[in-house]
Chains A and B, each alone.
Chain A
Amino acid sequence: MRHLLSAADLDRSEALLVLDTAEQMAQTQQREIKKLPTLRGRTVVNLFFEDSTRTRISFEAAAKRLSADVINFSAKGSSVSKGESLKDTALTLQAMGADAVVVRHQASGAPHRLANSGWINGAVINAGDGTHEHPTQALLDAFTMRHHLVGGQVPGAATGADLAGRKVVIVGDILHSRVARSNVLLLHTLGAHVTLVAPPTLLPVGVDAWPCATSYDFDDALDGTDVVMMLRVQRERMNAAYFPSAREYSRRYGLDSRRLGLLPDHAIVMHPGPMNRGLEISAEAADCARSTVVEQVGNGVSVRMAVLYLLLAGGPPEAASPEAADRELVGVAK
């Protein structure tokens, strides 16, 4: 794996390697001194063409805890708005010697262009591109699911396990959601059964061919599910006639206390944030004991540490055994 552009870049063993490596990273983060020297002297650039403070600081924390030098390059006003072109920005980063470029861009496929146009040599990590994908979000979501559903919330207990047979319901604006696309691909790779729930207007044409089920009825889909993941819905969508009103959306597709009651006891509630309280999720659901919203943020750092580590310090060949990776991590941390 040279880049991480899509959740489809990962087969089952590679996905598990990232998750297992993230478990080890999470354990190092319980120590008093969290910083590991693994990526000392390497440069990670956070190239954000679109505002996303939470994703940027998550990557920044991950890179810093691995001792990489971090450059934050906020390039709002890209070629789309006649600023500096993606190409010139990439050439600049190449000249500065970026070992990895974490890119967030409003254009679907922009990370593919960065990785495949010969502009830069470094590893490219997709931190969300347009309405395409957000693979590290899917990885942190899978990590969170595995921790709760397989590992019984015991750190490291889920190592090596996938999500075979688990039922995941993803609800909301699937059409415009990069989180949904990456999650469908990764969760399928890990053996989970995904059901997408949305009004028909917010499901993409051709969704029937995706490796998941779809439903227009939220209540039906909740029966026996292990995970319910709510997606942010932008209020402006109703202006384009995707749905008539926020109130109607909330009634048909929002997670409220009644629907919370339909969930099995062990089921968890997820949201990639930022939440629209009162639209897709009620305050009660957002703050309930089974909500993993805050935990997802913490897991994001561990997962991104794992991705940076695997791309920059050793790919699957060297780090094939988690023990070896652990030896190195623990060794250098002393």
Chain B
Amino acid sequence: MSAYLLTGVRPLGGTEVDLLISDGEIRALGADAKSAAPADAQVVDATGLIALPGLVDLHTHLREPGREDAETVESGTRAAAVGGYTAVHAMANTDPVADTAGVVEQVWHLGREAGWVDVQPVGAVTVGLAGEQLAELGAMADSAARVRVFSDDGHCVSDAVLMRRALEYVKAFGGVIAQHAQEPRLTAGAQMHEGELSGVLGLAGWPAVAEEAIIARDVLLAEHVGSRLHVCHVSTAGSVEILRWAKGRGVDVTAEVTPHHLLLTHELVRSYDPRFKVNPPLRAQSDVEALREALADGTIDAVATDHAPHASEDKDCEWLAAAMGMTGLETALAAVAEAMVDTGLLDWAGVADRMSVRPARIGGLAGHGQPLAVGSPANLTLFDADPRWTVDPTRMASSSRNTPFAGREMHGRVVATFLRGRATVLDGQPVRQTVGSLA
């Protein structure tokens, strides 16, 4: 495996140093990196680039098996690498659903074959995501895929008893239930955030209370049974208040927010353009501000993309008929830079914490989210925060084009990504793995 000498790199946005990667680890950092570099080390001029621990996504839809026309494990994980990720959690709502050891192992194997990032499958909480009967959580935990995060994402585990049992059951193997908080009856047919605009546009509303009521119930359940709870894609100011209260009481709860909820509001729905149709829906500006503050103060632990690729025919239609979801892996870091760093809410160490360290801890991925220090696995991302670029959906590595940022000018691009010392991205371009050597 080649060694890389990164010159002039800025770990977590700090001062420029040289960094040596070899044998899959960070081998040297600082003045001795040059001298320690083997003769055949590839020198990468990384002057001024920000080095972050490789990003970890807690919430990725890779669509395989079932909807390979929208995304495959190969295309989705390549998009992840281009976006600076070294690990993703593949959501369970595939076809067939990832509710058995067989399916999670298939996804895990496909991830290994693709080799772009570590693919950690998420297991379904209930059989077929139907919310009626627990899936074989233990079998998935014991499988080669070593599942620790369980989620019916796309559906809420709305039955209170089932949710309680799931929270209790996964304690046996250190698992966590990642809840898609959406009270189903309050959101039947919901199309967008319920507020003044939904009334004007004549689109059925998705009220904030439908999310908040479930989160309130679940933090109380988690407290009652002493379990770990993770809340997916938090989208409202009220949810933030409940999480803050729960954490203040010592409830073992973590939460994530998507880049799009940090940057976009429901005003975009005025266009009736289904690119902006997503679940949970884009909310009001006051929600965006509350989410940013919560991410900054740690009430929300992590940024998770909820990367949700869709075939073009599922978006090139009227709003009501369109699928919900947006791609996000390739724009996440630029979006967070804009929402959190430009605004002074987070520094780069904070970004590393919310996009790598904490998600790796929540997902139980020992090799990720480690400090940029000698001896750490060489999972890292080099980011150039300056260049301005216009998002062009046709130039995405993802198979799908449904980015909400199409045509938007953003700044900052991932220059390189390293997975255990191997470059998956160099000069912003994906680097195909040679001779199928599994890292």
| B200: A residues at CB distance < 8 A | 181, 206, 210
B192 smallest CB distance to A (angstroms): 10
- Measured CB to CB, the nearest residue on chain B to A85 is B317
User: Is B139 among interface residues, defined by CB-CB distance under 8 A?
Assistant: no
Residue pair B202, A108 in contact (C-beta under 8 Å) = yes
Q: Which of B191, B196, B201, B202 contacts A205 (CB 8 A)?
A: B196
User: Is A105 among interface residues, defined by CB-CB distance under 8 A?
Assistant: yes
User: Is A251 among interface residues, defined by CB-CB distance under 8 A?
Assistant: no
Within 8 A of B (CB), among A282-310: none
Which of these binds chain B: A127-135, A146-154, A261-269? A127-135
Residue pair B196, A108 in contact (C-beta under 8 Å) = no
Residue pair A206, B196 in contact (C-beta under 8 Å) = yes
Given A85-B313, A116-B271, A205-B205: A110 and B318 interface contact (C-beta under 8 Å): yes
Given A80-B321, A109-B318, A113-B319: A206 and B202 interface contact (C-beta under 8 Å): no
| A109: B residues at CB distance < 8 A | 201-203, 272, 318-320
| A112: B residues at CB distance < 8 A | 271-272
A223 smallest CB distance to B (angstroms): 27
Within 8 A of A (CB), among B369-408: none
Given A205-B195, A209-B196: A131 and B202 interface contact (C-beta under 8 Å): yes
User: Is B305 among interface residues, defined by CB-CB distance under 8 A?
Assistant: no
| B273: A residues at CB distance < 8 A | 113, 116
- Measured CB to CB, the nearest residue on chain A to B274 is A113
B367 smallest CB distance to A (angstroms): 45
Residue pair A79, B199 in contact (C-beta under 8 Å) = no
Residue pair A206, B201 in contact (C-beta under 8 Å) = no
Residue pair B271, A80 in contact (C-beta under 8 Å) = no
User: Is B134 among interface residues, defined by CB-CB distance under 8 A?
Assistant: no
Q: Which of A107, A131, A204 contacts B321 (CB 8 A)?
A: A107
Q: Which of A78, A107, A204 contacts B319 (CB 8 A)?
A: A107
Residue pair B201, A113 in contact (C-beta under 8 Å) = no
Q: Which of A86, A178, A181, A205 contacts B318 (CB 8 A)?
A: A86
**Complex CA distance for A105 and B207, rounded to whole angstroms:** 25
Residue pair B318, A113 in contact (C-beta under 8 Å) = yes
B195 smallest CB distance to A (angstroms): 5
B188 smallest CB distance to A (angstroms): 9
| A105: B residues at CB distance < 8 A | 318
Residue pair B271, A204 in contact (C-beta under 8 Å) = no
| B194: A residues at CB distance < 8 A | 205
User: Is B197 among interface residues, defined by CB-CB distance under 8 A?
Assistant: yes
A175 smallest CB distance to B (angstroms): 8
| B197: A residues at CB distance < 8 A | 206
- Measured CB to CB, the nearest residue on chain A to B202 is A132
User: Is A87 among interface residues, defined by CB-CB distance under 8 A?
Assistant: yes
**Complex CA distance for A116 and B319, rounded to whole angstroms:** 13
Q: Which of B199, B201, B316, B319 contacts A207 (CB 8 A)?
A: B199
**Complex CA distance for A112 and B271, rounded to whole angstroms:** 8
Residue pair B318, A107 in contact (C-beta under 8 Å) = yes
**Complex CA distance for A206 and B272, rounded to whole angstroms:** 19
| B191: A residues at CB distance < 8 A | 108
User: Is B254 among interface residues, defined by CB-CB distance under 8 A?
Assistant: no
User: Is A106 among interface residues, defined by CB-CB distance under 8 A?
Assistant: yes
Within 8 A of B (CB), among A15-33: none
| A209: B residues at CB distance < 8 A | 196
| A178: B residues at CB distance < 8 A | 202
**Complex CA distance for A210 and B197, rounded to whole angstroms:** 10
Given A112-B271, A112-B272, A209-B196: A86 and B317 interface contact (C-beta under 8 Å): yes
User: Is B198 among interface residues, defined by CB-CB distance under 8 A?
Assistant: yes
Within 8 A of A (CB), among B154-205: 191, 194-205
**Complex CA distance for A132 and B191, rounded to whole angstroms:** 13
| B207: A residues at CB distance < 8 A | 205
Within 8 A of A (CB), among B295-335: 313, 316-321
| A132: B residues at CB distance < 8 A | 201-203
B142 smallest CB distance to A (angstroms): 40
**Complex CA distance for A60 and B203, rounded to whole angstroms:** 29
Most chain A CB within a 10 A radius of its CB, from B316, B319, B320: B320
**Complex CA distance for A112 and B194, rounded to whole angstroms:** 20
**Complex CA distance for A206 and B199, rounded to whole angstroms:** 7
**Complex CA distance for A130 and B189, rounded to whole angstroms:** 13
| A116: B residues at CB distance < 8 A | 271-273
- Measured CB to CB, the nearest residue on chain A to B272 is A109
**Complex CA distance for A330 and B386, rounded to whole angstroms:** 66
A221 smallest CB distance to B (angstroms): 20
B203 smallest CB distance to A (angstroms): 5
Within 8 A of A (CB), among B198-228: 198-205, 207
Within 8 A of B (CB), among A225-244: none
Residue pair B321, A205 in contact (C-beta under 8 Å) = no
**Complex CA distance for A181 and B320, rounded to whole angstroms:** 19
**Complex CA distance for A86 and B318, rounded to whole angstroms:** 7
Given A79-B317, A106-B320: A130 and B202 interface contact (C-beta under 8 Å): yes
Contact with B along A85-112 (1 / 0, CB 8 A): 1110000000000000000011111101
| B198: A residues at CB distance < 8 A | 204-206
A187 smallest CB distance to B (angstroms): 15
| A110: B residues at CB distance < 8 A | 272, 318-320
Residue pair B202, A181 in contact (C-beta under 8 Å) = yes
B277 smallest CB distance to A (angstroms): 11
B69 smallest CB distance to A (angstroms): 16
Contact with A along B249-276 (1 / 0, CB 8 A): 0000000000000000000000111000
| B317: A residues at CB distance < 8 A | 79, 85-87, 113
**Complex CA distance for A19 and B205, rounded to whole angstroms:** 34
Residue pair B272, A113 in contact (C-beta under 8 Å) = yes
Since A108-B201, A109-B272, A205-B205 are in contact, a sample of 5 more A-B pairs with Cβ atoms closer than 8 Å, ordered by chain A residue number, is A109-B202, A132-B201, A132-B203, A206-B198, A206-B200
Nearest 5 CB-CB pairs, A to B?
A: A206-B196, A109-B272, A132-B202, A204-B199, A107-B320
10 contacts between A and B (CB under 8 A): A85-B313, A85-B317, A86-B317, A86-B318, A107-B321, A109-B318, A110-B319, A130-B320, A131-B203, A207-B199
